[in-house]
Amino acid sequence: MARTGRADVGREAVIGRTTRVRGRIAGEGDLLVEGVVEGDVTLRGDLTVAEGASATSNVEAQAVTVNGALEGDVRARAVTVGGSARLRGDVVAEAFAIEEGAEVIGRFEADFELPPELTGSGSGGKRR
């Protein structure tokens, strides 16, 4: 799955397939996890958990793409859960997508208003 396109490869950190990291990770750029991470991840850039990789982490990042296993809460601008992903944790994001086939357990939370017809009081809905 594509990491949201920053062509600046030099700013991307990779935790390779045979690498295991225990501890917090914080950074300015993007992070690609192909191995194992146990510890919270805070990034200015994007996080990608590749297929076969696993992270036990609470995550804060720009865009988070999960194709492997992620256990922990995610707070991001956009979260994409691929069809091969296993995600257990709560997700707060402005936008998210789940591909069919993903295993997901957690609360998903986006900020939006239902149309006033459904909220009872006619408070500032979008439609009609």
Partner 1 sequence: MADTSVIGRASFVRGRVTGDGDLEIAGRVEGEIAVSGEVVVEATGLVAANIEGRRIIVRGAVKGDLVASELVSLEATARVVGDLRAPRIAIAQGGLVRGQVATSGGGAARPRAAQATAARAPARETARREEPRREEARREEPRRVVPAPAPSKAAPAKASPAKVESKANGPAPRGATIAGSRVGPPPPVVPVLKKGTKAVQKKR
Min CB(16)–partner 1 separation in Å: 25
Binding site for partner 1 (CB under 8 A): 4, 40, 42, 44, 58, 60-63, 71-73, 75-78, 80, 86, 88-90, 92, 94-115, 117-121, 123, 126-127
- Residue 35 CA to residue 63 CA, distance in Å, equals 19
Three-state DSSP class for residue 11: helix
Q: At its nearest, how many Å lie between partner 1 and the CB of residue 31?
A: 14
Q: How many whole angstroms separate alpha carbon 42 and alpha carbon 45?
A: 9
Least Cβ distance, residue 17 to partner 1 (angstroms): 24
Residue whose CB is less far from partner 1, 16 or 52:
52
Q: Say which residues have a Cβ less than 8 Å from residue 5's Cβ, sequence separation at least 6.
A: none
